[in-house]
Amino acid sequence: MSISKLIMDKKESISLVGLGYVGMPIAVAFSKKVNVIGFDLNEDKINTYKQGIDPTNEVGDEAIRNCKVEFTSDESRLKDAKFHIVAVPTPINLDKTPNLAPVEGASKIIGRNLTKGSVVVYESTVYPGVTEDICIPILEEESGLKCGIDFKVGYSPERINPGDKVHTLEKIIKIVSGIDEETVEEVAKVYELVIDAGVYKASSIKVAEAAKVVENSQRDINIAFMNELAMVFDNMGIDTNEVVDAMNTKWNALKFYPGLVGGHCIGVDPYYFIYEAERLGYHSQIILSGRKINDSMGSFVADAIIKQLIHADKIVKKSNVVVLGATFKENCPDIRNSKVIDIINSLQEYGVNPIVSDPYVNEAEMRHEYNINLVNFEEIKDADCIVFAVAHDQFRNLDWTQIKNMFRDGENENKIIIDVKSIFNRTEVEEQGFTLWRL
């Protein structure tokens, strides 16, 4: 009997290795249909899930409380699963090279607990070749088993968009691949249990690996183009968003906007492609240039803030600059590779110590990761400049009285709003008497 049939009949289990923003929603989704073991090395995270708390806000506390996932930090429990899904992060090092330590570590853990007849599917974003050239040898060495004979391997890139309640796991087409046709079919049948949108069968593991890196690199390049325009238009005294709105009246406009590009995917994945291309002797032209532009946007916004303070006759070092939002995107608590931090760091270089507030972010995590103390939103007052860095719904829904109460007393024309995410209508802001700068 096939693995997929055994899983559907609940005679075998699925394991999820890595229970973060990607792995946990997958585990919860599968647990509605089959037996699931959710494994993570972080015991605190496991205990949080056992208490019915979803720190990621991806599925919500109620879904965690009611799900049937067996959460564990005991790796030996993986021996009770026959289908393993690896969803650990794949970050980059300080020198922008791939950091494969998490996926290598996960491979060692699975290898130590791998049994004959198992299937291992990697979802972590990697450059083409990692699954077959790095992960499979680790699995074989740790298990003493032979890939293709004793166990099979597949690759199915994660496509979850953190904080997105529209394009959820079930609604996104799943790319699947495997070392042979039999594996592809088995992997497809398992994912079809939870993916309503269906699956796409890639011709090889390398094609599937490349597809994930390329789809994020494409977005990165398009946003970089808009960011470059924004920098030029700023010097021209032209509002970038007004240009984009006009351009978007054409049917084939791509509707990209300038912005900060961080997070664990778009701000990272292109470096995986660049690394492998350079290893093969090709120096990236477009992708690397796009990354350089997007990595510079935090400093560009910070410089704009300083200029606006000077134009308003503010003493820069004595100005109270409030930064609203610290996550890499709206309506999620994820602070990994947030480019808002670049704005904060650049302001500190000018002697400005900004007041940072984000209702979505765990205060202890923010201190640990970035040595930044968050301020409760309700305590903000006497601001000279407010930077709307992230478009959380809570910030979008503020009325003008609430915004005015955060500023220092005085004439509104000396009060600066920096609108990184184009939350506000320019005319409305100016009618309120504020000075507006937006990306």
| Strand residues in 334-389 grouped as ranges (E) | 355-357, 385-388
Residue of higher predicted confidence among 370 and 58: 370
Query: Residue 330 in 3-state DSSP?
Result: coil
Q: Are residues 28 and 175 in the same domain?
A: yes
**Does any domain span residue 289?**
no
Q: Can you tell me the distance from the alpha carbon of 119 to that of 110, in angstroms, rounded to the nearest whole number? A: 11
Q: Residues 135, 265, 332, 385: which is the catalytic one?
A: 265
Would you say residue 424 lies in a domain?
yes
**Which alpha helices (DSSP H) does 122-279 contain, by range?**
130, 136-143, 181-191, 205-236, 240-247, 269-279
CA-to-CA separations, 12 to 42, 215, 225, 410, in angstroms, rounded: 25, 34, 49, 68
Please state the pTM of the whole predicted model: 0.92
Same domain (yes/no): 144, 184: yes
pLDDT given at position 410: 72
Nearest to 199 by CA among 180, 178, 181, 172: 172
DSSP classification of residue 154 = E
The number of folded domains in the chain is 3
Predicted confidence (pLDDT) per residue in 374-408, tens digit: 999 999 999 999 999 999 999 999 999 999 999 98
Q: Are residues 150 and 62 in the same domain?
A: yes
Same domain, 172 and 225: no
Answer yes or no: do 119 and 71 share one domain. yes
Q: Do the strands 151-155 and 174-178 form a parallel or antiparallel pair, or are they unpaired?
A: antiparallel
Q: Residue 163: pLDDT above 80?
A: no
Vertex 82: Cα angle to 80 and 84 (nearest 5) = 100
Q: How far is CA 387 from the centre of its chain?
A: 22
Q: How far apart are CA 171 and CA 311, in angstroms?
A: 48
Residue 152's contacts (CB-CB under 8 Å, 6 or more residues apart) are 118, 119, 120, 178, 179, 180, 182, 183, 186
Q: Is the pLDDT of residue 409 over 80?
A: yes
User: What CATH number did the domain enclosing 76 receive?
Assistant: 3.40.50.720
Q: H-type helices in 357-396, by residue range? A: 363-370, 393-396
pLDDT at 105 over 70: yes
Residue 265 known to be catalytic: yes
Residue 23 sits at the vertex; the CA angle it makes with 17 and 28, to the nearest 5 degrees, is 110
Q: Is residue 290 part of a domain?
A: no
Phi, psi torsion values for 360, nearest 5 degrees = -85, -20
pLDDT band at residue 412 using 50, 70 and 90 as cut-offs: low
- C-alpha distances (whole Å) from 291 to each of 90, 169, 424 are 17, 27, 27
Q: What is the pLDDT of residue 386?
A: 97
Of the candidates 174, 203, 232, which is a domain's last residue? 203
Q: Look at strands 81-86 and 13-17 and give their pairing.
A: parallel
| Separation of alpha carbons 222 and 290, rounded Å | 8
Residue-wise pLDDT for 39-97, tens only, equals 999 999 999 999 999 988 888 899 999 999 999 999 999 999 999 999 999 999 989 99
- Single residue among 253, 283, 313 that ends a domain in this structure: 283
Question: Which tokens in the block code for residue 264?
Answer: 């664990």
* Domain boundaries, position 425: 296-438
My answer on whether 104 and 187 are in the same domain is yes
User: Is the pLDDT assigned to residue 164 strictly greater than 80?
Assistant: no
Tens of pLDDT, residues 224-280: 999 999 999 999 999 999 999 999 999 999 999 999 998 888 889 999 999 999 999
Could you tell me if 302 and 216 lie in one domain?
no
